[in-house]
């Protein structure tokens, strides 16, 4: 049998789904985390009924009338796919709003079981709910649950199986739910009546000792963290702290142990292969695979510490306040306040980030957000940031922090440009966001989320990254005649000759050597590849020092092998962060933009942005540090002027069109 999970946003559907199916879908303490339906089977622990049960988790909805596309997924699924049972998850602390959806679900004729969720919060808030009366008045079973504490799981499944196959009587019958032809007025009047029905029901079943509209300590916190002046500095401090912990304190400590094991593996494999094995195979295995993948895996602890902290932040309810703070700035550049949500999700991975843009109603804003979201440094870019801040900047936490804020800056600037190039839609964009309650984040949930992301990281490293590294190793070992490249003749390898043309283009950015160009190109397959490829092409087996407790071993040695100045290194880092994302993320952009023109425009824009930013960082930085411009300043300047010229032309063209249109109008 099949059960659909429905309920208001942030009522805890996905948390409950994860508990009963054992899956690890992304959850957060804010509305709109789930944008697509997810399916899974109920685990044996919770299913004592003997029947196989499939659960479908749906995006949150406030009502059955579709108001945004992710809400229509919910109403379409429930209406068209006819699940056997609907479990309606109701936030017990907000009956007066949640039961609107409940009464609509009860009219569909599909048996409904209400899960009165977040029951653990009731005592603190001085709320008592009479379950028996509620169940009787609604005409369906009501089960107390707390998905966070895993309470009531067996009971809810049990009840769902019991009601399956039976019909459902509706306590409030509107009789017009499926009649879209009916005129709006009558519909609205009916829904007002429905709300009055719900109000009456709440009055009969709920006792509140404290009115929810009373000011609380939470409201006082909101006034500080979402403050006009303090909001941004507090956000910056939080991000800085997150980076300090993952990159300067806790991360390196764990990384240290970890890399010790990888070193042992290297020595072990080296040992069992003995002397007689072909040197080709031995370098492929040791330097190409263990070296390249190992160099990347060495950063795993750092990433895990960071993901752990991000999960804690999402669980706390703070992210919704960040959205409020950022709304002001995003609106000024023609984006929606909601655009911040994809960007926050994008700090984990750009793919779900880009997918989250579908909650934005306005098409132009949605496409612009999908185009700009990948500028937020994602999890895959972290090893690259960690590597460069370790080698060139002594692990300074400001490097990582500032990359986030440069990302935000580029997004804001980019949005301004895109607004000028495309015509701004005249539709007013309002911002509304539910503010979830703050709560003490759960260590356990953060741990689970961290482990699932770590697993994904390892799988990626052991598949895509491994294959890429092996390919890179082979391409740099052979020349086009398939002969081994002699020492000192590295420039004749297949890899070098392929990457060289690109290296010329990168000269004005301060890193015009084929090794760095090759790493940047493999980065489009997966950004982690930048680290792996650098390890392979420079023959560095691991970047992390196990003896000095430093993140990057012999940072000066690595720096000198790469032959980059700090300024050029920063430019290279930014080039990798702010050019187009990996192919998978570009695929997601394609899906959400639904326009070839926007997709190619977006990619061209991302490429131009990365090039221009790196050029400015390198040339201006070199001017400041050495007193003269860096390599290939003039050709670079011409290229950058050309790019800026095109962008200006596109922005002007629109003005021109508007002007002419106005002239015609007289």
Site for another protein contains 228 (CB under 8 A): yes
Rounded CA-CA distance 489/648 in Å is 45
340: which residues sit within 8 A by CB, 6+ positions away? Answer: 322, 323, 326, 327, 330
Number of residues that bind another protein (CB under 8 A): 44
Packing angle, helices 633-665 and 596-626, rounded to 10: 130
Site for another protein contains 355 (CB under 8 A): no
Rounded CA-CA distance 49/325 in Å is 48
For another protein, give the closer residue by CB, 97 or 150. Answer: 97
The window from 92-100, 345-353, 479-487, 642-650 that contacts another protein (CB under 8 A) reads 92-100
Q: Compute the least distance from the CB of residue 130 to another protein, in Å.
A: 17
Packing angle, helices 382-393 and 555-562, rounded to 10: 100
Token digits of residue 521: 């190109």
Q: By the 8 A CB rule, do 95 and 15 touch?
A: no
Q: How are strands ordered across the β-sheet holding 112-117?
A: 38-41, 54-57, 2-7, 85-91, 112-117, 142-144
Token digits of residue 239: 């991000």
CA 8, 449, 344 angle in degrees (round to 5)?
A: 65
Rounded CA-CA distance 356/440 in Å is 25
Map residue 600 onto helix, strand or coil.
Answer: helix
Site for another protein contains 227 (CB under 8 A): yes
Site for another protein contains 58 (CB under 8 A): no
The window from 60-68, 154-162, 344-352, 474-482 that contacts another protein (CB under 8 A) reads 60-68
What string marks each residue from 413 to 452 as x (binds another protein by CB under 8 A) or -? -------------xxxxxxxxxx-----------------
Q: Compute the least distance from the CB of residue 309 to another protein, in Å.
A: 24
Site for another protein contains 188 (CB under 8 A): yes
What string marks each residue from 271 to 290 as x (binds another protein by CB under 8 A) or -? --------------------
Rounded CA-CA distance 485/493 in Å is 6
For another protein, give the closer residue by CB, 166 or 200. Answer: 200
327: which residues sit within 8 A by CB, 6+ positions away? Answer: 337, 340, 431, 433
Q: Compute the least distance from the CB of residue 347 to another protein, in Å.
A: 21
The window from 150-158, 162-170, 207-215, 303-311 that contacts another protein (CB under 8 A) reads 207-215
For another protein, give the closer residue by CB, 110 or 320. Answer: 320
650: which residues sit within 8 A by CB, 6+ positions away? Answer: 420, 421
Per CB under 8 A, the list member of 23, 43, 151, 328 interacting with another protein is: 328
Specify which residues 54 forms β-bridges with.
Answer: 2, 41
Site for another protein contains 197 (CB under 8 A): no
How would DSSP label each residue in 544-564? S-SSS--SSTTHHHHHHHHT-
The window from 111-119, 245-253, 521-529, 658-666 that contacts another protein (CB under 8 A) reads 658-666
CA distances from residue 660 to 150, 182, 417, 422, 652 in whole angstroms, order as listed: 64, 44, 21, 16, 12
If residue 143 lies in a helix (H) or strand (E), which one and from where to where?
strand 142-144
Per CB under 8 A, the list member of 200, 223, 455, 653 interacting with another protein is: 223
The window from 232-240, 320-328, 377-385, 414-422 that contacts another protein (CB under 8 A) reads 320-328
Per CB under 8 A, the list member of 69, 96, 282, 631 interacting with another protein is: 96
Rounded CA-CA distance 100/197 in Å is 9
Site for another protein contains 36 (CB under 8 A): no
For another protein, give the closer residue by CB, 238 or 505. Answer: 238
For another protein, give the closer residue by CB, 123 or 228. Answer: 228
Site for another protein contains 72 (CB under 8 A): no
Per CB under 8 A, the list member of 81, 193, 219, 660 interacting with another protein is: 219
Token digits of residue 628: 């003269």
What string marks each residue from 119 to 148 as x (binds another protein by CB under 8 A) or -? ------------------------------
Q: By the 8 A CB rule, do 376 and 577 touch?
A: no
Site for another protein contains 337 (CB under 8 A): yes
Report the DSSP pairing between strands 38-41 and 54-57: antiparallel
Q: Compute the least distance from the CB of residue 25 to another protein, in Å.
A: 24
Residues 232-271, interacting with another protein (CB under 8 A) = none
Q: Count CB atoms within 10 A of the CB of residue 74.
A: 23
By the criterion CB under 8 A, which residues form the site for another protein?
62-63, 65, 67-68, 93-97, 100, 188, 191-192, 195, 212-213, 215, 219, 222-223, 226-228, 320, 324, 327-328, 331, 337, 361, 426-435, 658, 662, 665
């Amino acid at each position: 049998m099949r059960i659909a999970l429905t309920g208001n946003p942030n009522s805890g559907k996905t948390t409950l789904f994860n508990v009963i199916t054992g899956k690890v879908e992304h959850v957060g303490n804010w509305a709109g985390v789930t944008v697509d339906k997810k399916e899974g089977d109920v685990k044996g622990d919770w299913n004592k009924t003997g029947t196989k049960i499939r659960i479908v988790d749906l995006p949150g909805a406030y009502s059955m009338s579709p108001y945004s596309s992710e809400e229509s997924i919910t109403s379409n699924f429930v209406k068209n796919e006819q699940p056997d049972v609907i479990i309606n998850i109701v936030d017990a602390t907000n009956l007066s709003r949640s039961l609107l959806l409940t009464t609509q679900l009860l009219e569909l004729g599909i048996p409904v079981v209400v899960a009165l969720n977040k029951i653990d919060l009731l005592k603190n808030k001085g709320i008592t709910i009479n379950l028996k009366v509620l169940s009787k008045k609604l005409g369906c079973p009501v089960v107390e649950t707390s998905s966070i504490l895993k309470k009531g799981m067996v009971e809810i499944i049990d009840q769902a199986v019991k009601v399956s196959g039976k019909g459902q009587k509706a306590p409030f019958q509107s009789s017009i739910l499926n009649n879209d032809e009916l005129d709006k007025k009558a519909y609205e009047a009916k829904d007002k009546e429905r709300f009055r029905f719900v109000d009456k029901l709440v009055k009969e079943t709920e006792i509140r000792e404290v009115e929810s509209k009373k000011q609380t300590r939470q409201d006082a916190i909101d006034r500080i963290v979402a403050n006009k002046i303090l909001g941004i500095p507090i956000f910056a401090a939080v991000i800085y702290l997150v980076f300090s912990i993952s990159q300067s304190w806790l991360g390196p400590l764990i990384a240290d142990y970890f890399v010790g094991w990888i070193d042992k593996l290297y020595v072990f494999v080296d040992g069992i292969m003995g002397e007689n094995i072909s040197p080709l195979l031995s370098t492929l295995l040791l330097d190409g695979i263990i070296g390249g993948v190992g160099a990347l895996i060495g950063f795993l602890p750092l990433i895990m510490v960071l993901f752990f902290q991000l999960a804690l932040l999402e669980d706390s309810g703070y992210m919704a306040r960040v959205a409020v703070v950022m709304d002001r700035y995003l609106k000024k550049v023609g984006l929606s306040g909601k655009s911040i949500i994809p960007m926050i999700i994008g700090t984990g991975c750009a793919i779900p980030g880009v997918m989250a843009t579908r909650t934005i109603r306005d098409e132009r804003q949605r496409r612009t957000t999908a185009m700009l979201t990948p500028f937020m440094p994602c999890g895959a870019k972290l090893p690259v940031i960690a590597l460069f801040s370790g080698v060139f900047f002594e692990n300074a936490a400001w490097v990582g922090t500032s990359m986030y804020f440069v990302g935000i800056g580029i997004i804001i600037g980019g949005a301004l440009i895109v607004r000028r190039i495309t015509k701004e839609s005249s539709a007013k964009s309002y911002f509304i966001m539910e503010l979830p309650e703050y709560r003490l984040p759960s260590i356990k949930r953060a741990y689970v989320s961290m482990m699932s992301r770590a697993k994904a990281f390892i799988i990626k490293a052991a598949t895509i990254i491994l294959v890429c590294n092996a390919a890179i190793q082979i391409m740099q070992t052979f020349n086009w005649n398939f002969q081994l490249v002699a020492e000192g003749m590295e420039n004749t390898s297949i890899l070098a000759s392929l990457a060289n043309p690109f290296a010329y283009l990168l000269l004005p950015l301060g890193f015009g050597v084929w090794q760095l160009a090759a790493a940047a190109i493999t980065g489009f397959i997966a950004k982690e590849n930048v680290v792996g490829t650098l390890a392979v092409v420079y023959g560095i087996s691991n970047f992390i020092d196990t003896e000095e407790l430093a993140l990057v071993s012999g940072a000066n040695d690595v720096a000198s092998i790469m032959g980059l100045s700090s300024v050029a290194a920063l430019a290279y880092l930014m080039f990798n962060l702010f050019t187009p994302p990996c192919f998978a993320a570009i695929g997601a952009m394609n899906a959400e933009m639904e326009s070839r023109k926007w997709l190619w425009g977006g990619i061209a824009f991302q490429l131009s942005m990365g090039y221009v930013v790196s050029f400015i960082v390198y040339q201006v930085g070199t001017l400041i540090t050495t007193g003269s411009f860096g390599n290939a300043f003039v050709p670079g300047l011409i290229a950058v002027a050309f790019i800026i010229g095109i962008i200006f032309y596109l922005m002007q063209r629109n003005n021109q069109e508007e002007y002419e249109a106005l002239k015609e109008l007289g």
